[in-house]
Amino acid sequence: MSDFRKLEVWRKAHELAIRVHRVAGGIRGATNLSLRSQMVRAAMSIPANIVEGSSQDSRREFARFLGYAANSATELEYHLIMARDIQAISLNDYTALVGRTVEVRKMLRGLMRRVTPPTA
């Protein structure tokens, strides 16, 4: 495929992962440990799957990893909803992060459509 660093969706996903890591780091309390961990893991999974997919030998395989990344974005969206609802993060942080998450997921779905070969 191509150098993942040239993909705009990877750049946005990487920035999202950094922002989530920073916000999650501000979540306090032992009861929120798993939420913090899941938020960071889901966020990091998005750009990591883009990177892994970009090294695959076929466009179909690349699209499969983009699908994994999109699924991680959906998972992250849920964790952000939970963090908002239990007031572990501010409404401002939630709004900013969920907006970026949805944007990245839409970009991933669009890229998947472009790289997936048409079926006969």
Residue 120: what pLDDT?
Answer: 57
Nearest to 79 by CA among 9, 17, 30: 17
Higher pLDDT, residue 116 or 64: 64
Phi-psi group of 4: left, alpha or beta (phi > 0 → left; psi -120 to 50 → alpha; rest → beta): alpha
Residue 51: what pLDDT?
Answer: 97
- Domains of the chain, CATH where assigned: 4-115 (1.20.1440.60)
> What's the whole-number mean pLDDT along residues 22-46?
96
Encode pLDDT of 41-98 as tens digits. 999 999 999 999 999 999 999 999 999 999 999 999 999 999 999 999 999 999 999 9
